[in-house]
């Protein structure tokens, strides 16, 4: 059954999901914050800045009015950068929301101020009146927009809610699995960006495949340690939202996080790198919030710590590698 869906955020990911959901037969509104860019999207029917080459179906209503985008929507999908979510939530009028609406976060980050996951911010704003789900997995917007076969996972506390969303989002090129492990699915999507930054640093330094394999394996171990502390199931992080997303973000040419890391590894400075980018590399802010969250909880995450030191404390990539390789020797524990 077709749903009315409001997609909040007209970046590459939001646009790709709006196209997907419209092609699945749903009534879709796409919210773009800047009115002048919303007009451009309506006229061109293409997001030439963030998702060039992908046509936006005529049925997608593009608006710069947040109230219009969510009015009567059965599903409200958030696809804005994590740093903008609190502001968007404050602008939303709870009185205009449809009773029983489901919120879906497709944002891969941890809030830098509160150290909360995105679904926690949404629940904190709207209470228990509305269900909140999360969508994550290996899913570059560039490939989803071009109908490349993709598999992801949607998680909600009530598995029935996840199964409803599974039907709405699934299509010929977008396969969705259902889960009730919201924490695991959400953490995997956020923390893998930090490991992808580190993978880019290794590339920029010209290091090899052995180093990459070690980084990704131990990075996954760090993700699981944090997940267990917060109540996630380790097997969730072995799946699409953990291992799957880690592989694609570390290895893909589309990965902004890997690209930022590569430039750091070559000696560029973070402010100059960020100033040259139109799109957001979520791993930069998540490296800070992840490091502080791990420290707060007493979770050992040495890769995340070194990535934090490179980004925010002026540590050299070579010094970070030396610090990781020189850590106290220990047994390998795999779970």
| Residues carrying an active site annotation | 192
Residues 6 or more apart whose CB falls under 8 angstroms from that of 234 comprise 224, 227, 228, 335
Residue 305's φ and ψ, nearest 5 degrees, are: -65, -45
Assigned token pair, 48: 């030439």
Neighbours of 168 (CB within 10 A): 22
Residue with tokens 């889960």: 179
> Would strands 61-63 and 75-78 be described as parallel, antiparallel, or unpaired?
unpaired
Long-range contacts of 147-153 (CB under 8 A, 24+ apart): 147/172, 147/173, 148/173, 149/173, 149/175, 150/174, 150/175, 151/175, 151/176, 151/177, 151/240, 151/244, 152/176, 152/177, 152/240, 152/241, 153/177, 153/178, 153/179, 153/185, 153/239, 153/240, 153/241
List the one residue out of 302, 313, 215 whose CA is nearest residue 270: 313
Q: How far apart are CA 188 and CA 290, in angstroms?
A: 12
Chain centroid, CA 12 distance in Å: 12
Strand locations in the chain (E): 4-8, 27-31, 46-47, 51-55, 61-63, 75-78, 102-105, 131-136, 150-156, 174-179
- Torsion on CA atoms 168, 254, 305, 245, rounded to nearest 10: 40
List the one residue out of 11, 26, 328 whose CA is nearest residue 168: 26
């Amino acid at each position: 059954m077709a749903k009315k869906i409001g997609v909040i955020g007209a970046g590459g990911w939001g646009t790709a999901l709006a196209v997907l959901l419209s092609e699945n037969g749903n009534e879709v509104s796409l919210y773009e914050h800047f009115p002048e860019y919303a007009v451009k999207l309506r006229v061109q029917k293409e997001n030439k800045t963030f998702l060039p080459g992908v046509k936006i179906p005529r049925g997608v209503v593009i608006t710069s009015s947040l109230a219009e985008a969510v009015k009567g929507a059965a599903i409200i999908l958030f696809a804005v950068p994590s740093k903008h979510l609190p502001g968007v939530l404050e602008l939303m009028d709870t009185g205009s929301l449809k009773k029983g609406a489901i919120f879906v976060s497709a944002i891969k980050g941890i809030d830098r101020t509160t150290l909360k996951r995105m679904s926690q911010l949404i629940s904190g704003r709207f209470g228990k009146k509305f269900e909140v789900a999360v969508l994550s997995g290996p899913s570059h917007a560039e490939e989803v927009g071009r109908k490349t076969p993709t598999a992801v996972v949607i998680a909600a506390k009530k598995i029935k809610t996840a199964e409803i969303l599974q039907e709405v989002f699934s299509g010929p090129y977008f396969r969705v699995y259902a889960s009730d492990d919201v924490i695991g699915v959400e953490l995997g999507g956020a923390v893998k960006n930090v490991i992808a930054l580190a993978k880019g640093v290794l590339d920029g330094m010209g290091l090899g495949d052995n180093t990459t394999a070690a980084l990704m394996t131990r990075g996954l171990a760090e993700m699981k340690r944090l997940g267990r502390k917060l109540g996630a199931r380790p097997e969730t992080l072995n799946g699409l939202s953990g291992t799957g997303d880690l592989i694609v973000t570390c290895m893909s040419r589309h990965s902004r996080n890997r690209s930022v890391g590569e430039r750091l590894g070559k000696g560029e400075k973070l402010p100059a790198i960020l100033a040259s980018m139109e799109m957001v590399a979520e791993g930069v802010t998540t490296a800070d919030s992840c490091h502080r969250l791990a420290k707060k909880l007493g979770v050992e995450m040495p890769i995340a710590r070194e990535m934090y030191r490179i980004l925010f404390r002026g540590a050299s990539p070579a010094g970070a590698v030396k610090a990781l390789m020189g850590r106290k020797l220990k047994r390998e524990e795999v779970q």
